[in-house]
Chain A
Amino acid sequence: MSGKKEEMLLDVKDLHASVEGTEILRGLDLQVKPGEVHAIMGPNGSGKSTFANVLSGREEYQVDRGTVQYRDLDLLELSADERACEGIFMAFQYPVSIPGISNAYFLRTALNSVRRYREESEVDAVDFLELIRSKTDLVGIDEKLLHRSVNDGFSGGEKKRNEILQMAVLDPKLAILDETDSGLDIDALRIVAEGVNALRREDRAFIVVTHYQRLLDHIVPDHVHVLSDGKIVRSGDKTLAHELEREGYSWLEATDASAGSNS
């Protein structure tokens, strides 16, 4: 790039975090710029989901050390809802169902919460329906799902598509996909990935947390990081994902976890 210092969207430094007294993240560093797609891979228990949850503000996850700067904000000072209003979105591995609240009502409440925070005018029911129609096409979701209770009785694919729909509506700057591929067959996976790709933009970054490489065939990352034992032990471009696919994660045990970042 030209001599001008490039803007950083997310800057994670030496992040340590624990759940119920067990340390899971042990010094994680990550830098994300607008427009980039970062994949976080790693074996079960390496801390992938913990990282996603810490970023989105889940209170059960205790941050013990380190800093997370998001734009010009100290992210760790913000509650989960403030983070969402500031443009962070996490697509859940297991979206929660809420019987008794229609998907449309939920989405409109969320959108208006975010708009109020951003000092934008609220959207009424009519305008909302118009807005949502343009988004349902984008993510390939059946409009009927809008009138059903949130995720209640949804298939695995419908739930994940619903997450992407919420992402499209809330218009985040940083989207985190937590194991979005889990429980999806190949067709559902493709549809979800297409939705995500449709939402890729120059000013929006993605962190894609996944165990398997197959999602990355569809959502092609700029950077791939391997998380092991709570820190990033290796970084590379998309070819690293293919390497992992061939060799699995067993090499991690043999490797001294001192490998640095080569990004």
Chain B
Amino acid sequence: MVTEATESWTEAVRAITERLNESKDGLDERRTGGLERFQMHGFPGRKSEEWRYTPLSGLVDGGCHQSLSTSTSVPQHADLPLDAIARVVLINGCFQEQLSDLSALGDAIKIGSIAALRNESNPEMVNFLCSSFPEDDHPFGSLSDAMLDDGVFIEVSGEGSGEPGTVHVLHAFDGSTGAGSAHITGLVRCAPGSRLKIVEEVRSTGEVLGNIRWGMSLGDDAVLDRIRVFRPGCDSVFHGTRVTQNSGSQFHDLVTCCGSNLIRNEIHATHSGPGCHVDLLGAYVARGKEVVDHHTTIEHAVEDCTSREIYRGVLSEKSRGVFTGMIHVHQDAQRTDAVQSNDAIVLSRDAEMNTRPRLEIYADDVKCTHGATVGELDDDALFYLRSRGISLDEAKKLLVRAFTSEVLAGMESSQLREFIIEELQRSIPGDGESSS
């Protein structure tokens, strides 16, 4: 759908595509292709099945088509309690060498900026980048292609990696001097047998579209743990991940968010060798008119793979939760074991949850279960807590902790878990204002 607003987007994007194409880094076809696809398809409207419950009109009509000015300012938040071996900071999409700390990295992990990679003309990495993302009509994918500039790559070799360290990736978006968007490409390659942990944090201030995409490849028996924390105050974030898993590899993903206007989290995981496992977990709290949208696809392409999805949200006021979960079990994917659950607690009449499980199963010997629940806080439990002296607000927070505990229980760091739970709890409206 091409409108006036998408015109201003297209003009802005074209200028950037043309400027970046002057760098002759071998990615000009990719950029031009992205521009053309965006020009043709634009942003999807309400009629698009994939975006039906996720309004993009505010994003389209606002000022996010502009580029964010260069900034070295990170929005203020209490720091996550982390014990990281490396810290990567990107501000408004640019890798910040000065603010990042890679000094303690051993030989097993290599980290660098996509911008540097392009300039070195590293054809292998460029190929990996190009093969990680499809060239389709996805609006944010097209924008990422058209403005392909910077981001981060992380490469882990199998040897000597031992006990995996945590890499902290901080995306900061600073729209304090004017609205705009930033488009970031991340790449992760885990060699066979390697292990890596990533904690990805997103902080944002002002009217900003943060468009982040990751292409990931896990070699045989590699293990990748990722925790993503969207800190309160984000305007619009599109976050997409495409991960390809080889035999015996494991990808554990956990995402949490609260207090953000619009979050779309897309994950596309493909099991291309037997014995893979993927965990997709999410806990979120939304209030006001916030929208949190989890959109997952798991391609069980081969036999003997397992997947587990659990998303849990607490929605108050006029907020909206969206979950779309596709589990695609291919014909050869015998003995697939897939579990999907999506539960929400709705604290007000005006809040809503839209949930769409999609199962396509073409193999006959599989176990696939899915469940979705939408409910209110349990009155009996609330009274029980209050009868022990716990105030109504505190009791609600305790029940939110209980509700999200299944998602967060597996976190290795109890400090980080407590930190996240407390941040989620703070986003619950107080004073019984939204009790139903």
Contact = CB atoms under 8 A, between A and B. Distances in A.
Contacts of B378: 96
B386 A84 contact: yes
A81 B390 CA distance: 6
B341 interface: no
B405 interface: yes
B406 A109 contact: no
Interface string B32-54: 00000000000000000000000
B402 A166 contact: no
A98 B386 CA distance: 13
Contact of A99 (B385, B395, B402): B402
Interface string A79-122: 11101110001101001101111000010011101100100000
A90 B389 CA distance: 11
Contacts of B431: none
Contact of A80 (B381, B383, B394, B409): B383
Interface string A150-188: 000000000000000010001000000000000000000
A201 interface: no
A61 to B, nearest CB: 11
A57 B388 CA distance: 11
A110 B409 CA distance: 22
A100 B383 contact: no
Nearest to B388: A110
Nearest to A90: B387
Most A CB contacts (10 A, CB to CB) among B385, B387, B390, B402 go to B387
**Is the contact region of chain B dominated by helix, strand, or loop, or is it mixed?**
helix
B387 A84 contact: yes
B386 A81 contact: yes
Interface in B395-436: 395, 398-399, 401-406, 409
A98 B384 contact: yes
A99 to B, nearest CB: 6
A50 interface: no
B390 A96 contact: no
Contacts of B385: 98, 106, 110
A263 to B, nearest CB: 28
Contacts of B398: 98, 101, 106, 109
B380 interface: yes
A58 interface: yes
A100 B403 contact: yes
A85 B387 CA distance: 9
Contact of B402 (A59, A100, A110): A100
A183 B297 CA distance: 48
Given A58-B383, A96-B380, A98-B384, A85 B402 contact: no
Contact of B381 (A56, A96, A114): A96
A106 B405 CA distance: 14
Contact of A114 (B389, B395, B405): B389
Chain B interface residue bracket vs A: 20 to 34
Nearest to B405: A100
A218 to B, nearest CB: 24
B211 to A, nearest CB: 35
Nearest to B403: A100
B391 interface: yes
A79 B394 CA distance: 14
Nearest to A115: B389
Interface residues of A, number: 29
A189 to B, nearest CB: 22
B85 interface: no
Contacts of B387: 56-58, 80-81, 83-84, 89-90, 92
Given A57-B387, A84-B387, A100-B402, A113 B394 contact: yes
Contacts of B399: 98
B361 interface: no
A98 B391 contact: no
A81 B398 CA distance: 14
Contacts of A85: 389
B16 interface: no
Contacts of A79: 386, 392
A170 B388 contact: yes
Contacts of B405: 99-101
Contacts of B395: 81
B436 to A, nearest CB: 14
A84 B392 CA distance: 13
B394 to A, nearest CB: 6
A98 B385 CA distance: 10
A89 B387 CA distance: 7
A166 B383 CA distance: 15
Given A100-B405, A101-B401, A101-B402, A92 B384 contact: yes
Nearest to A97: B381
Contacts of B404: 100
A95 B403 CA distance: 18
A111 B385 CA distance: 11
Contacts of B390: 81, 84, 109-110, 113
Contact of B389 (A95, A98, A100, A113): A113
B406 A80 contact: no
Contacts of A106: 385, 388, 398
A130 to B, nearest CB: 20
Contact of A110 (B389, B392, B401, B406): B389
Contacts of B392: 79, 81
Nearest to B406: A100
A138 B276 CA distance: 51
A79 B431 CA distance: 13
A113 B386 CA distance: 10
Contacts of A56: 387
6 contacts: A80-B386, A84-B387, A92-B387, A98-B381, A99-B402, A113-B391
Given A81-B395, A96-B380, A100-B404, 9 more contacts: A57-B386, A58-B383, A89-B387, A96-B384, A98-B399, A101-B402, A113-B389, A113-B391, A170-B389
Interface of B: 378, 380-381, 383-392, 394-395, 398-399, 401-406, 409
Interface of A: 56-59, 79-81, 83-85, 89-90, 92, 95-96, 98-101, 106, 109-111, 113-114, 117, 149, 166, 170
10 interchain residue pairs of minimum CB distance: A100-B405, A100-B402, A84-B389, A110-B388, A114-B389, A96-B384, A80-B386, A81-B386, A113-B389, A101-B402
